[in-house]
Chains A and B, each alone.
Chain A
Amino acid sequence: MKRSIFLKYSTLLVVLLSLFAITSNGQETLTISGTKFTYPLIEKWISEYAKVHSELKITLVQKSGNAKVADLNIIAHQPAKEELQENQEIIYAGRYALLPATNQHNSIFAALPKKGLNKKELDKLFFEVVNYDDEAKVENPKFTATIYSRENQACSSIALAGYFGHVSSEIRGKKVTGDDIYLLTAVKKDSIGLTYNNLGYLYDVNSRKLKDGLALLPLDLKRDAKDVLTGDLDNVIATLEKNKIETIPVEKFGFIYSQQNERKEVSDFLRWVLSDGQKYNHQEGFLNLDKEVLAEQANRLNEKFLTLK
């Protein structure tokens, strides 16, 4: 009997050690975590990077799990001062645009102004500001709608609110947890649902067309920007990269890294993202950084990691 137990434990130990050996296998690892709506692009980068750097294993980890110990954290809003620790820096890797979307059967279209919604009208529709100068009164929106947004601390909520001069707690309506993709699920189920979402989720990245069941809210756009609402994903991206459109928030996203644990693998990966990786941005529905900003990121990266070169 004793021998049998000894054999069982020995076998288990050998299996575990083998597994460890396989995972180690001389391969360095890099973990990334953060804003989920960027994951399709990050995954693309990881797979393409793996083709040229098989010695590095990059994994995406759940934000709620080991976010703090991930080597790189994705951020997709302008951080408040206290959000970054002293030794943390951001290297931006791209941009994303937020478009207002709704259920394609929403009857709101008939009530909307013909020329589309301007920034002020969007503001009133999506945000609720208690007028403290007056009796506790909330200005009611003109249209009946359920607004869906991510929770107040989510990047897209902060970016959206910030663009309109609000804080995220002033976004009306319901919150959705998990991922921005669920905002579209909610809107598809709710005929009066409205939301904002990024191009990568709004459009089918293969067909480059808007996903079924969704419609974009008409926006008050100048003639040269009309393609944003009528064209396919590539047209939208091209237009947004060319123009600054008042009714459409565009925000940068990037990686937060800590200078405390500087690793060559990190700088190599980021350098690749800022060069070769950029060509996948459009494919996944993201905008490229302006040339100057991109160059600045590369420079900063070089400065920060100079010692590791």
Chain B
Amino acid sequence: MEKYNFGLDEEMIKELSEEFAPRNFVKTLKLSQPHTIEDARASLEEYGRELARRSIEKGEKRIDRVYHVMKKAMEKTGEMKFPFILQRYLEIAYLSIQPFRRLRIVANSSKIISYRLNECSLYKAIEEEYGKEAANKMVCKSACFALIEEILSHFDFDIKPSLEASMADDRKCQFKIER
């Protein structure tokens, strides 16, 4: 049998991680000035959306064997677009900007996809640049919500994601997307 590559295209992850480096992006937020918080929120949303768009754009071109087999399975069964297409792009996006090597998936069934971030480079960059108080306002969640919502709408899912735990209160973020 052919020696397939089941992993994500490494070049793709590298390109995305350069384009969306959290530290560089966070510097542009100017969060120390209170009146800029709305602007900051808007640019975080734009960052999340753009990360989703670019992940999908690149990911649809660079098809690893897992995605190939997954697509065949979806064709055959008519199922699994939920959760796996969403999961694929969430993983590509997060693995590009986060320090961890695997996204902690809490559930990925036919009805629910949920994941947890035990550490977050975006939150950390805001904390380092603007202090703990600024970080704990969780303005960064706008980026994650925009990322999820953009992926959902790209693949024609009308679902509202929710945040079940946050870095500020629980020292971890947990998102849930339930049909």
- Do chains A and B interact in one complex? no
Q: Which residues of B contact A (CB under 8 A)?
A: none
